[in-house]
Amino acid sequence: MENTFDAIVVGSGISGGWAAKELCEKGLKTLVLERGRSVVHNKDYPTATLKPWEVSHRGRLTHDFLKENPLISKAAGFGEETKHFFIEDKDHPYIQEKPFDWIRGYQVGGKSLTWGRATQRWSRHEFKAPELQGYGMNWPIGYEDVAPWYSHVEEFIGVCGSRDGIEAMPDGEFMKPFPFNCAEEWMSQKIRQNYSDRHLVHARWAHLTEPKQVHFDQGRGQCQARNMCMRGCPFGGYFSSVSSTLPWAERTGNLTIRPHSVVHSILYDESTGKASGVKVIDAETNEVMEFKAKIIFLNASALNSVLVLLNSKSDRFPKGLGNDHDLLGRYVAFHNYRGWVSGELDQFQDKYYYGRNPTEPILANFRNLGKKDPDLDFVGGYTIFSGAWRGRGKEMSNPTFGAEFKNAQTEPGNWHVYMYMQGETIPKAGNHVRLSETEMDPFGIPQLVTSIGYDQNDENMLRDFFTQAKEMLEKAGVKNLESRDSGQAPGLDIHEMGGARMGTSPENSMLNSWNQLHACKNVFVTDGACMTSTGNQSPSILYMALTARAANFAAEELKKGNL
């Protein structure tokens, strides 16, 4: 009986924490399984308050480490002060049939400790754009189904931003944003003057600028604008499951967290037609054990959740749990981050800014909004993140050491302005993951094979971004413009989505409108694997909203005896 619970949640990150919170609040005895180590808020942030000179290599990584970790060392935010929240390349091998950078963080809290914290709501158009523009399948739900859950999540995690009335990026429950610096304000004004359909505004970020009582009740405090978030925040100034949802769930007395628990598969009971529990391998002892539950939430992150489903084979489901129509692992997509444009402003030489703003402005999507623009050679849209900064040290023709160099540090450098894209990509059956038939990971589980790539739509969208970003910056007076295609592989955006998508029937999807497996109703998938399309906004808050919605539905269905 000690291995029996009302609910099991696989994964403890952004969506897993929300599943645990909602299920525990509903009175369900809930087990959270995490394959990595335990991390406790504040206790396990070893670099959170270190000064630069207190870090062994001043934040840099050794040549030996870089040689051994060519994949993970490319990740945004990865460095000497944060590497303890990422896994090293050797610790979870996979097979890249096409180049794909799979960034993972195995610990209690998962990647909620290292996420980018952008929390824009999807517009109503993004749920309906695939069929309207002819590049995919619509979602089985719309904005109106998710809107109250967006509010539910925003109020609890704390989101700063401004209410702008922009169709492409709906307003929500916001506290005050961090202010623009003078160059960002200039950029916003110039874009507004030159374009009626483009708005450079405060983005929405999961930072507490004005904590409310619910945040103090979580033990969190105001963001201190240190911009050292990925080390773990001792103030709880940004949202993570470690500082927020998991401790909240624990206070109910209904939560059990088990770290070092590698989920092998979900167990299927042929006689009931439902899942009965999960099979787990202890990462420290290699002991194999089983845990039982009435409902199961998969929140291991998109590709790992798909891996677990693929490996959950039975007589009823020889190709993976719920996989009657060869859809599992297909329609994997991501966000296109390859485009960057930057330059310099001559204005505001007498101004600087205060603090280290952990947020940046955003230019909401203005392409193919609500309809396909016949003049564009791509479908979908893109969001643009932007900002301005001023470095230390007056520009020198020959930077060096000595008196000239030291004197130059007493004067700020030029203002630098940048834009980078976050582009929607098209889910395609051919972009898929599957299990290797020959290679195993250290726990004897088949390795994942990734076969995911760009297409011509991505290239056309990238070209349009370069044209539009340069034009906007030029009209704002930005000089010395440079554009760069990073050429990065899919996956480095850390926004992998799909593989077990939502839809209207078992023939076109793995999940229904409540994130249930069509063919196994007591299994829910609410992380990135459930995504039907990628949209152009950051997806994490949608995962949280969908999870809260599904968890409340599951608890009610369980109470009614339907699960």
pLDDT in tens, 55-113: 998 888 999 999 999 999 999 999 999 999 999 999 999 999 999 999 999 999 999 99
List the structure tokens of 563: 């699960």
pLDDT at 120 over 70: yes
- Bridge partners for 265 per DSSP: 279
pLDDT at 185 over 90: yes
Tell me whether residue 363 is in a domain.
yes
Tell me whether residue 388 is in a domain.
yes
Average pLDDT, the chain: 96
- What is each CA distance from 81 to 75, 233, 333, in whole angstroms? 13, 12, 30
Return phi, psi of residue 6, to 5°.
-75, -40
- CA–CA dist 227, 209 (Å, integer): 13
pLDDT at 395 over 70: no
Task: Find the radius of gyration of the CA atoms of the chain.
Answer: 23
pLDDT reported for residue 400? 66
Q: What is the mean pLDDT of residues 165-193?
A: 97
Tens-place pLDDT, residues 466-480? 999 999 999 999 999
Residues 6+ apart with CB under 8 A from 114: 77, 82, 85, 86, 105, 230
Residue 295 CA from chain centroid, whole number: 25
Tell me whether residue 104 is in a domain.
no
Residues 6+ apart with CB under 8 A from 212: 155, 158, 175
Rounded percentage of the chain residues whose pLDDT exceeds 90 = 93
pLDDT reported for residue 391? 81
| Pairing, β 361-363 against β 274-282 | unpaired
* pLDDT bucket at 394, cuts 50 / 70 / 90: low
pLDDT at 355 over 90: no
Total domain count, the chain: 1
pLDDT at 538 over 80: yes
List the structure tokens of 429: 């059956």
pLDDT reported for residue 402? 78
Q: Do residues 103 and 494 touch, judged by C-beta distance below 8 A?
A: yes
The count of C-alpha atoms lying within 13 angstroms of the C-alpha of 561, restricted to the half-sphere facing its C-beta, is 0
Tell me whether residue 210 is in a domain.
no
pLDDT at 1 over 80: no
pLDDT at 268 over 60: yes
Tens-place pLDDT, residues 190-208? 999 999 999 999 989 999 9
pLDDT at 396 over 60: no
Tell me whether residue 191 is in a domain.
yes
Which helix (H) or strand (E) element contains residue 245? Answer: helix 245-251
Tell me whether residue 196 is in a domain.
yes
> How many residues in the chain?
563
pLDDT reported for residue 410? 79
Q: Which residue has the higher pLDDT, 422 or 393?
A: 422
Q: Among 103, 126, 97, which Cα is nearest to 115's?
A: 103
Residues 6+ apart with CB under 8 A from 216: none
- CA–CA dist 227, 354 (Å, integer): 12
Q: Give the other-Cβ count within 10 Å of 440's Cβ.
A: 12
Q: What is the mean pLDDT of residues 289-311?
A: 98
Q: What is the mean pLDDT of residues 483-489?
A: 97
List the structure tokens of 268: 């299927």
- CA–CA dist 41, 247 (Å, integer): 9
Q: Which of 230-234, 412-416, 484-488 has the lowest mean pLDDT?
A: 412-416
Q: What is the mean pLDDT of residues 226-248?
A: 97
pLDDT reported for residue 392? 74
Q: Among 296, 335, 266, which Cα is nearest to 498's?
A: 335
Q: Give the other-Cβ count within 10 Å of 93's Cβ.
A: 13
- What is each CA distance from 547 to 292, 519, 543, in whole angstroms? 21, 19, 6
- CA–CA dist 19, 263 (Å, integer): 17
Q: Which residue has the tokens 């749920």?
A: 127
- CA–CA dist 400, 430 (Å, integer): 52
Q: Among 89, 68, 216, 90, which Cα is nearest to 156's?
A: 216
- CA–CA dist 278, 291 (Å, integer): 5
Tell me whether residue 40 is in a domain.
no
- CA–CA dist 107, 153 (Å, integer): 23
pLDDT at 409 over 80: no
Q: Give the 3-state DSSP-derived string for 62-91, with helices as H, strands as E and coil as C.
A: CHHHHHHCCCHHHCCCCCCCCHHHCCCHHH
- CA–CA dist 234, 354 (Å, integer): 21
pLDDT at 292 over 90: yes
- 10 Å CB burial of residue 214 (0-12, 13-18, 19+) is middle
pLDDT reported for residue 406? 79
pLDDT at 450 over 80: yes
| Domain carrying residue 477 | 177-202+337-423+468-489
List the structure tokens of 255: 């939560």
- Bridge partners for 362 per DSSP: 201, 385
- CA–CA dist 56, 558 (Å, integer): 52
Q: Which amino acid is at 255?
A: L
Q: Maximum CA pair distance of the chain?
A: 81
* pLDDT bucket at 405, cuts 50 / 70 / 90: confident
- CA–CA dist 510, 269 (Å, integer): 19
pLDDT reported for residue 414? 87
E strands, 424-551, in order: 432-440, 446-451, 479-485, 516-517, 520-525
Q: Do residues 41 and 250 touch, judged by C-beta distance below 8 A?
A: no
Tell me whether residue 472 is in a domain.
yes
- Bridge partners for 497 per DSSP: 333
- What is each CA distance from 18 to 30, 39, 117, 205, 513, in whole angstroms? 12, 17, 15, 18, 18
Interior angle at CA 237, CA 231 and CA 238, nearest 5: 70
> Which stretches of 26-168 are DSSP H helices?
63-68, 124-133, 143-157
